[in-house]
Structure 1
Amino acid sequence: MSDDNTALQDPFKEIRPYRDTEVAEVLNRLLYNEEFIRVVTRYQFPRMAGAFGWLLRPLVRMALAREIGDVETIRDFQARVAKYMEKMIVRSTTRMTCSGMERLDPDEAYLFISNHRDIALDPAFVNWVLYKAGMNTARIAIGDNLLRKGYVSDLMRLNKSFIVNRSARGREMMTALNQLSAYIDHSISEGASIWIAQREGRAKDGNDRTDPAILKMFYMSQRKQRSFGEAITRLNLVPVSISYEYDPCDAAKARELHARASDGCYAKGQYEDLDSIVKGITGLKGDVHVAFGEPIKGEFESPEALAALIDREIIANYQLHSSNLIAADAASEVTDEQRAAFQQRLDELEPGAQDIMRQMYANPLINKRNLEAP
């Protein structure tokens, strides 16, 4: 079969999540990826992997083969992921809650557009609450900047992630954006929900703002057939607010913002994003809340007007935690223990970065007050 015929039959093959028919091949590829096995060995046996890695790696491979031996579908794979999610939630959160589920119809597909604080956990927590409610999990938009390693791409695409080509430039970028727009519309029309962040990159300063360019992208593949408002109604867009009492990457974010403010630039390490993913998963998060807003329908004058509405929904539904109240000096009901825990996080930073971290946690409350002001 020619490449042209393959593209016509499967126009999204290069960016879409893997399908059930591809699971066995991808899992086999992972089992024989030496770098992946080394990473798993280092994670499972951090003290022994250096000196005894040569001995441990074959054992790790055999253990993984047993673990995934009966995984035949994406649903099977996500059931395995759910077990690790449950362990992670028990170990790194004090409470996991959600609200707004009554606004969702289990028989509908939604385009969940959420604020973005953690690279991997934002969509993971959204999918967790959907999974626990017996609803289908969403397909996850993930930038190709996070997929430099082949095994990372395989793992993400097994877990229903699809690729956003951020590295494309010029005409290639327009082609990639149009393909992405068409894929999102295709997914919703075939009954598969989508998760995407409201902007490229995390809101490191705690200010959740929607980039209108994301909304323009949604419309790109539909602009010849329907109005902007019709396209948005068709996509069943739902704003989602995710809030963490403690951000495991808060110190790194504060240091980065401090460096940018002080030096005018910040040089990101080659695998800094992967380190952030690991730290986000393993680090203490305290209370975590996922809030689903009302599905958005109707006509809008512009993507900017829609972005403003999404911002209002995300800010309004954002659940404040003790850390936000303490940082904004509005904590009348927090405990001494909570104050001490927040202060301990500040004490790990130099004074300038401390101020940035405090502002990072205060901004959600400030934005809520501004929203509610007459």
Structure 2
Amino acid sequence: MDQFHDIRPYNDDEVAGVLQNLVNTPDFIDTIVGFKFTKWPQWTRGFLAMVVKHVLQKEVRKINDVHAFQTQVADYMERMIKTTTSNVEYRGIEKLAKNEGYLFLSNHRDIAMDPAFVNYGLYLNGLDTVRIAIGDNLLRRPFVSDLMRLNKSFIVKRSVNGVREMMAAFGQLSDYITHSLTQEHCNIWIAQKEGRAKDGLDQTDPAIIKMFYMSQKKQKVAFPDAMQNLKIVPVSISYEYDPCAFDKARELHEKSTTGSYQKAEFEDIDSIRKGIVGRKGKVIVTFGDVIDHNCATPDEMVAEVDRQIIGSYAIQSTNSAAQKVLNGEPSGDSVFDEYMATCPAELRETVLRMYANPLIQKQERGL
């Protein structure tokens, strides 16, 4: 029996059937039409849906396994990079060995693009792409779940109720991650904490480390040995411009002024769309060192992950400019000034702090 059947990515022999189901799903087709033809009049949507479905039916006939699907994704990535970034740079990737399974523990800025940029760097350098941890809160529409699982995503059950159910879900997740790394030697990508760091402060949640340990703890493996078995590599992703910055600031502002924030039904899907098509400027992905020295406790592991992620975060022009403005100085960056001129006045300080915080965090730690 497949103990991971409800959370794992799709296998090669499942790809063709899932794709056929997708192209026959009206919600999926309608979403693509809305995504690609935003400015077209409503009365054209029916015709466009027929065209999109016909084109996709031809495309999916060529895709019979996960590698073929990800090759198609790579083509879209190349086009996206050309239109939304000024440059993408990878640092430290030369330290990674082929045919080795790493647990990439990453800071988190963008729902879809963070693992996508990591994946693209691995793909370009002839390394295996990652299995991506994704929360079930993002999978409210069934076709999104199918798309993610086709792209080697596995599901983190965040919506389970009750302590027993939650512990069972975390135990299954820990077993799956450990199995993927130690038995199948596959790469894994997971964020250092639940949700994006909307304020620009990167901090690892100790609960993530404790979840990693659950599987090996049952086998009586000592904590330092268990962590070494997972080959954890901290990853730091830096965007010159965040396409969702104003939306994140609006959420933070509303929470600070009213005490709460209620997401719209498909707000996360809209964030994914903005992250893909929005302006990003320069993107820098830095792979840290495998944590192979003895971290005796989860807190020691958290400290080391944070040290590497914050220390290797590539400071962009926008980070420096934002800090200057907060200090009452001219930014010295006319492009950033034009960008901030489009920011709603009530969100201005929140956005500036969001951009300045990675630099402030480094300075406070002397990194």
- Corresponding residue for 1:6? none
Q: Is the 8 A contact 2:99 2:128 kept in 1?
A: no
Per the alignment, residue 344 of structure 1 pairs with: 338
Report the Cα distance in structure 1 between the residues aligned to 2:116 and 2:65, rounded to whole angstroms: 19
Residue 346 of structure 1 and its aligned partner are, at CA, apart by 2.4
Q: Which amino acid aligns with 1:114?
A: S
Q: What is the SS of the residue equivalent to 2:310?
A: helix
1:132 to 117, 124, 137: 124
Distance across 2 between alignment mates of 1:260 and 1:48: 35
Contact 2:108 2:114 in 1 (8 A): yes
| Among candidates 24, 29, 52, match of residue 37 of structure 1 | 29
Q: Structure 2 counterpart of 1:339, which letter?
A: D
**Equivalents in 1 of 2:250, 2:199: separation in Å?**
11
Contact 1:188 1:235 in 2 (8 A): yes
Partner residue in 2 for 1:161: 153
Deviation string 1:26-79 (CA, Å, 9 cap, x unpaired) is 001001000111111222322336112222211111101112211000000000
Q: Secondary structure at the match of 2:200?
A: coil
Q: Distance in 2 between matches of 1:229 and 1:315?
A: 22
**Map of 1:208 onto structure 2:** 202
Question: Are the equivalent residues in 2 in contact too, given 1:26–1:154 (CA < 8 A)?
Answer: yes
CA deviations 1:298-324 (Å, max 9, x no partner) are 322321111011000001111011000
Instruction: Give distance in 1, aligned partners of 2:123 and 2:28.
Output: 27
Structure-2 change in CA distance of 1:86 and 1:77 (3 Å): same
Kept after mapping to 2: 8 A contact 1:230/1:298: no
- Identify the match of residue 314 of structure 1 among 303, 309, 313: 309
Structure 1 stretch displaced more, 43-52 or 137-146:
43-52
Distance 1:183 1:242 in 2: 25
After superposition, the C-alpha distances for 1:159-193 in whole angstroms (9 at most, x for unaligned) are 00000000012211110000000000010021111
1:98 aligns with 2:93: no
Q: Secondary structure of the equivalent of 1:241?
A: strand
- Partner residue, 2:350: 356
Between the aligned partners of 2:97 and 2:325, the Cα distance in structure 1 is 37
Q: Is the 8 A contact 1:127 1:138 kept in 2?
A: yes
> Which residue of structure 2 aligns with residue 181 of structure 1?
174
Pair 1:24-2:24 in alignment: no
Q: CA deviation at 1:224?
A: 2.6
Per mean C-alpha deviation after superposition, the further-off stretch among 266-275 and 295-304 is: 295-304
Deviation of the 1:116 alpha carbon = 0.2
Deviations 1:242-299 (A, max 9, x none): 0000000000111111111111111111111111000000000000000000000132
Q: Which amino acid in the other structure matches residue 75 of structure 2?
A: K
Unaligned runs of 5+ residues in structure 1 are 1-8
Name the SS for the 1:221 alignment partner.
helix
In structure 1, what is the equivalent of residue 38 of structure 2?
A: 46
- Residue 330 of structure 1 deviates from its aligned partner by 8.8
One-letter code aligned to 1:284: R
Which residue of 194, 198, 207 maps to 2:192? 198
Secondary structure class of the residue paired with 1:329: helix
Does the 8 Å contact 1:49/1:56 carry over to 2?
no
* Correspondence for 2:113: 121
Aligned equivalent of 1:271, options 261, 266, 270: 266
Of residues 222, 229, 238 in structure 2, which corresponds to 1:227? 222
CA distance in 2, matches of 1:56, 1:283: 24
Report the RMSD for the aligned CA atoms in angstroms: 1.6
| Structure-2 separation of matches of 1:270 and 1:308 | 36
Ranges in structure 2 where 5+ consecutive residues have no aligned partner = none
> Aligned-pair distance for 1:107?
2.0
Q: Name the amino acid aligned to 1:151.
A: F
- Residue range with higher mean Cα deviation, 65-74 or 143-152: 65-74
Q: Verify: 1:366 aligned to 2:360, yes or no.
A: yes
Match of 1:283 in 2: 278
Instruction: State the aligned residue count.
Output: 361
Task: Provide TM-score, normalisation by structure 1.
Answer: 0.94
Tell me the alpha carbon deviations over residues 102-121 of structure 1, each in whole angstroms, 9 at most, x when there is no partner.
21111211000000000000
Q: Distance in 2 between matches of 1:48 and 1:249?
A: 24
Relative to structure 1, the CA distance from residue 57 to residue 351 in structure 2 (aligned partners, 3 Å threshold; closer, same or farther) is closer
TM-score, scaled to structure 2: 0.95
Whether the 8 Å contact between 2:286 and 2:312 is mirrored in structure 1 is yes
Counterpart for residue 63 of structure 1 = 55
Give yes or no for the alignment of 1:254 onto 2:246: no
Is residue 149 of structure 2 the alignment partner of residue 151 of structure 1? no
1:134-171: CA deviation from partner (whole Å, max 9, x where unpaired): 11100000000000001100000000000000001221
